[in-house]
Chain A
Amino acid sequence: MIIPQFCSWLENTRMASDIRASTWLFPTIESIHVLAITMVVGSVAMFDLRLLGIASRDRSVSELHKEILPWTWAAFGCAVVAGSLLFSSDATKYYHNGPFRMKMVALLLIGLNTAIFEFGAFRGVSRWDSERKTPLAAKLAGGISIVLWIMVVGFGRWIGFTKM
Chain B
Amino acid sequence: MLPNFCNWLSNTPLSVKIQNILWIIPAVQTVHILCVSIVISTMAMLDLRLAGLTGRSQPISRAVNRWVPWVWGTLPVMLFTGCILIIGEPTRELMNPYFRAKMAMLAVVVAITAFVHLRNKNEGYWDRRAIAAKFAGAMSLILWVGIIAAGRWIAYY
Contact = CB atoms under 8 A, between A and B. Distances in A.
Nearest to B29: A157
Contact of B37 (A23, A41, A160): A41
Contacts of B40: 35, 38-39, 42
A158 interface: yes
B36 interface: yes
Given A31-B153, A158-B26, A150 B148 contact: no
Nearest to B154: A27
Given A30-B152, A31-B149, A42 B38 contact: yes
A96 B38 CA distance: 31
Interface string B30-55: 10011011111110100000000000
Contacts of B30: 150, 153-154, 157
A161 interface: yes
Given A158-B26, A161-B26, A42 B37 contact: yes
Contacts of A39: 37, 40-41, 44
B145 interface: yes
A160 B26 CA distance: 9
A43 interface: yes
Most buried by B among A42, A153, A158, A160: A42
Interface of B is mostly: helix
Interface in A24-76: 27, 30-31, 34-35, 37-39, 41-43, 45-46
Interface in A125-164: 150, 153-154, 157-158, 160-161
Nearest to B27: A154
Contacts of A45: 37-38, 41
Interface of A is mostly: helix
A136 to B, nearest CB: 26
Given A27-B153, A154-B30, A34 B41 contact: no
A38 B36 contact: yes
A44 B79 CA distance: 24
Contact of A150 (B34, B42, B145): B34
A33 B145 CA distance: 12
B26 A35 contact: no
Given A27-B156, A31-B149, A34-B148, A46 B33 contact: no
Interface of B: 22, 25-27, 29-30, 33-34, 36-42, 44, 145, 148-149, 151-153, 155-156
The 8 closest A-B pairs by CB, nearest first: A42-B41, A41-B37, A42-B37, A38-B37, A31-B149, A31-B152, A154-B30, A27-B156
16 contacts: A27-B153, A27-B155, A30-B152, A31-B153, A34-B151, A35-B148, A38-B33, A38-B148, A39-B37, A42-B37, A42-B44, A46-B41, A154-B26, A154-B30, A158-B26, A160-B26
